[in-house]
Amino acid sequence: MFLLGIGNFALHRAVLESGHPLVEQLPGLAQSLGGRLTLVAEFLVLLAAMLLVANGWSELAWVYAGYSALNVASAWLILSGRV
């Protein structure tokens, strides 16, 4: 899960730095902080998932893997200019 989290952070950062019009449509507070607020949200999702898996919710690892797959797909669409 930790490695998936690193990948999610890298993709998230790449999308934020891409200059894509969707990034420009972020709400004012998230945009003014350079996207750091969205990275904090990404961290909180990873932290919650890791804590829950460590406390016996092992099925949640598959949910986080699915979440990561959606992140990969959306980042690919945005970075390749398909969206």
Does residue 8 surpass a pLDDT of 90?
A: yes
Looking at the structure of the chain, the number of domains it has is 1
pLDDT at 38 over 80: yes
Q: What is the pLDDT of residues 39-77, one digit of tens each?
A: 899 999 999 999 999 999 999 999 999 999 999 999 999
Examine the pLDDT at 30 and tell me if it is beyond 90: no
Range of the domain at 34: 2-79
Residue with the larger pLDDT of the pair 12 and 19: 12
Predicted pLDDT at 31: 67
> Contact, 79 vs 14, CB < 8 A?
yes
Q: Give Rg (Cα) of the chain.
A: 14
In this prediction the pTM is 0.85
Does residue 75 contact residue 11 with C-beta atoms inside 8 Å?
A: yes
